[in-house]
Amino acid sequence: MQIRISTRHGHISDETQAKITGKVEKLTRFFGRLTDIEVTVDLEHRDMPSVDLRVSAEHKHDFVAAARSDELIASVDAVVEKMEQQLRKYKEKVQDRHRNTGHHPMTASDNKD
């Protein structure tokens, strides 16, 4: 899995990049088939930094979340939480689909000779 962090309209320290990397790495706990995570930090409005998060998973599924807050780390926390919800929902959907396509017991109406 590859993690890329880019910044618009400014620069963030290596320490902050490490914090962001640590937070987004936790997304693999919710869905293990992630292939790429891209974080874009926009510092155009220093008092309200925004963070965009794009996560790519196997089988061409992309997930996108964005958040804006008073502080950069608060924005990162909010966007990671949004992404966790999307990944959880998608994983449940996939698991339900696999559960429902198994062998169905025959009912009396199915057994017409």
**pLDDT digit string (tens) for the chain, length 113 residues:** 899 999 999 999 999 999 999 999 999 888 888 889 999 999 999 899 999 999 998 876 799 999 999 999 999 999 999 999 999 888 888 778 777 765 555 555 555 55
pLDDT for position 93: 84
pTM of the model: 0.79
| CATH code reported for the domain at 2-72 | 3.30.160.100
Beta bridge partners of 68: 50
pLDDT for position 28: 86
Beta bridge partners of 38: 4, 54
pLDDT for position 112: 54
CA torsion, ordered 66, 70, 76, 81, to nearest 10 deg: -70
Q: Where are the domains of the chain?
A: 2-72
Cα separation, 61 vs 42, whole angstroms: 24
